[in-house]
Structure 1
Amino acid sequence: MPTPLYISQNFRLAMASSSIPHDTAALVSAVLEGILYGFSVLMFIGTIWASTYKRRMQDINRPIIVVAILLLLTSTMHMIITIIHVEDGLVKYRDTWPGGPTAFFANMTVETYVIKHALYILQTVLADGVMVYRCYVLWRSIWVIILPSMLWCGIIVTGTRAVYGNSQATANPGNVFAADVENWIIAFFALTLTTNILCSGLLAYRIWMIERSVSKVRATKGTMMQIVRVLVDAAVLYSVVLLSLLLCFVTTNNGESVLTDLVIPSAVYTCHEQH
């Protein structure tokens, strides 16, 4: 009778064999990231307008504005590096890289690959930091954000270690699923997914509590529940992408390269939608 370990290994091998080629994944991810980037820019413009229109300078939430600008800059830089990375693999090094474009895009030590993932880590740290900050602003209690803050610190540690592991993977540069690197990446995705769900839940619950207390003294109801729906929708969208990424790494599926590039504009879009 097959053991659970044997079944798990066969399942991972089957998923790996069904993965899309690295060069195809790079091209698809660049196109999809460009589309989502356009939406994120529109959301950024809407956020800035909503935060500054007909408001006095002292009433503007400066931290949120600064983070929104940083998120857009990070997303823009990632988009530029993605284009350079695709151009290098499909044009510049197409005939000179050992193994061709497929080997180029699979190599974790390529400079553009490392920069792309470093920007992704930075963007995640900023976006999750905003979530923790919003929890504090809404709850006005340091105790509420203790666990989210610990998770956020874990995101910084695991993300930094994952990028460093990628850049130093000289022994097996073409395998992002190598044991050491993969474990750190899986931990990173698990932490950011947990942080997103926890903070979104805390925000939605707090708004729901405020709505209940306010609805007792006014006739209209449900105004703040629209905000709760937006929070839940945004959290679900981002969580689905992160969960898909986590499953790709658990099953060693190359689809992770596509989803990783999609997370950047998705997170920017989600943060602006929650604003």
Structure 2
Amino acid sequence: MYVDHADYVFQVSYYLGTLFNALLYGIELVIYIASVHMVMRRGAKPMRSQGTRFLLVFSTGLLLLTTIWGAVEASLGRRMWIANPNYSGGSAVYLAKNAPMGYKIAGSAAAVVLNLMTDGLLLYRCYVVWADVRVIILPCFLYLSTVPLGILTLFVNAVRSEPRLWLGGMQPYTLAYTSVAISSNLLVSALICARILFLARHTRAALGDEAAHMYTNAVALVVESALAYAVCGVVYVVFLAVQSPMSVMFASFYVMFTCLASQMIVLRVLMGRAWTQEAVAHSTTRIQFTTAIVVACPSFDATQNSLESRNGHSRVPIDLWTDAELASSDDHGDSIAALF
């Protein structure tokens, strides 16, 4: 039986997308179980934390939405290849004319909500590492723009039944929604990457390479910025724009990495390795300190409070001040100056 080239590419792409859905879903499940186990292992106290409860609910929501997406894709594949393998016009025509509306709504809704959840989390993480609300004004505007576009895309994809949409045909609403969402994601990822690289230099200077490694290594950079999610999004929107049937495969990658990006951030937060507002504050606060000064002073009166005599030497006590403390107290400045 003759198979149209575009339909053949579509079927292969759909098949590969389904395989990678299963693979990435397994990874998602492992990360989710690890996150839950990490909380349960610490006993009841972490469960009373509002932040921890939110992370568990958030992770569970991600898992449920990803499950819906994967189940819809697998079910449509079964209908296409097993129930109707020889449908006149090809697989894309079958899906366009016979895919249940409930399936299309469930799959599209799961993808849109996953996007909103992940992009919202990334916006918050961007605010955490920058500690400045002005930085996220433009990303917030783009993020809010994806809400009506996502709803419109969901409605159009549910009610329209055109084979060309499955074969990579131009989908104006989907392309507009995806482009805005990925633009927001790229901007936020770039801001997070730039900030982490900036903080890495200051953290190494203040704490040393070993102490700073946990916050500034390559894994931290990739996970905190959701870099894999951003890259998959760019590839997907390119194939969508050129109307390639392969876009269906990259759509699967994009949706699954949407979930994995957030899940890995949640796990990193629960492990205590994610950037926090306190860690950022410590990294950006310049510390001024002096080392102990030991001088030979055999004739010095050891009863004075300012010096301690031991074995013919005197040791000057250490004072440690941050820039904020120095600026707020002239007495502290005089104490530091008196050491030199």
TM range, smaller chain: 0.7 to 0.9
Number of the residue aligned with 2:24:
36
Number of the residue aligned with 1:27:
15
Change (3 A) 1:25 1:214: closer
1:195 and 2:222 aligned: no
Deviations 1:188-226 (A, max 9, x none): 222222222222222233334444334333344542211
Deviations 1:30-65 (A, max 9, x none): 222111111111122233344564363327533333
Q: Which has the larger radius of gyration?
A: 2
Q: Is the 8 A contact 2:7 2:90 kept in 1?
A: no
Number of the residue aligned with 1:13:
none
Unmatched 5+ residue regions in structure 2?
269-340
- Cα distance between partner residues in 2 of 1:233 and 1:23: 33
How far the C-alpha of 1:106 sits from its partner, in A, is 4.5
Q: TM-score, normalised by structure 1?
A: 0.79
Equivalent residue letter for 1:164: F
User: In structure 2, the residue corresponding to 1:145 is in which secondary structure?
Assistant: helix
- Cα distance between partner residues in 2 of 1:64 and 1:27: 33
Q: Is the 8 A contact 1:230 1:273 kept in 2?
A: no
Equivalent residue letter for 2:93: A
2:202 to 208, 213, 216: 213
Which of the pair has the greater relative contact order for Cα pairs under 8 Å at 6+ separation?
1
User: In structure 1, the residue corresponding to 2:132 is in which secondary structure?
Assistant: coil
Q: How does 1:124-135 map to 2 (within 5 A)?
A: 124-135=115-126
Let me know the Cα RMSD of the aligned residues: 2.9
How far the C-alpha of 1:246 sits from its partner, in A, is 1.1
1:142 to 119, 126, 133: 133
Number of the residue aligned with 2:234:
243
User: In structure 2, the residue corresponding to 1:253 is in which secondary structure?
Assistant: coil
How far the C-alpha of 1:273 sits from its partner, in A, is 2.8
Number of the residue aligned with 1:103:
93
Deviates most, 121-130 or 188-197: 188-197
Q: Percent identity?
A: 17
Number of the residue aligned with 1:8:
none
- Cα distance between partner residues in 1 of 2:169 and 2:239: 14
Q: Is the 8 A contact 1:108 1:169 kept in 2?
A: no
1:229 and 2:218 aligned: no
Change (3 A) 1:94 1:217: closer
Q: TM-score, normalised by structure 2?
A: 0.65
How far the C-alpha of 1:184 sits from its partner, in A, is 1.8
Q: Is the 8 A contact 1:43 1:273 kept in 2?
A: yes
- Cα distance between partner residues in 1 of 2:248 and 2:17: 7
How far the C-alpha of 1:76 sits from its partner, in A, is 0.8
Write 1 or 2 for the structure with the bigger share of strand.
Answer: 2
- Cα distance between partner residues in 1 of 2:91 and 2:190: 43
2:164 to 164, 175, 193: 175
How far the C-alpha of 1:25 sits from its partner, in A, is 3.1
Write 1 or 2 for the structure with the bigger share of helix.
Answer: 1
- Cα distance between partner residues in 2 of 1:72 and 1:131: 18
Change (3 A) 1:151 1:49: farther
Equivalent residue letter for 2:258: A
Q: Is the 8 A contact 2:92 2:163 kept in 1?
A: no
Unmatched 5+ residue regions in structure 1?
1-15
Deviations 1:241-273 (A, max 9, x none): 212211112211011111112222222222233
Q: Is the 8 A contact 1:20 1:255 kept in 2?
A: no
Change (3 A) 1:50 1:169: same
User: In structure 1, the residue corresponding to 2:163 is in which secondary structure?
Assistant: coil
How far the C-alpha of 1:21 sits from its partner, in A, is 3.9
User: In structure 2, the residue corresponding to 1:43 is in which secondary structure?
Assistant: helix
Deviations 1:114-149 (A, max 9, x none): 422221111111111111122223333332222111
User: In structure 2, the residue corresponding to 1:61 is in which secondary structure?
Assistant: helix
- Cα distance between partner residues in 1 of 2:15 and 2:201: 49
How far the C-alpha of 1:87 sits from its partner, in A, is 1.8
- The number of residues matched between the two structures is 254
Deviates most, 200-209 or 17-26: 17-26
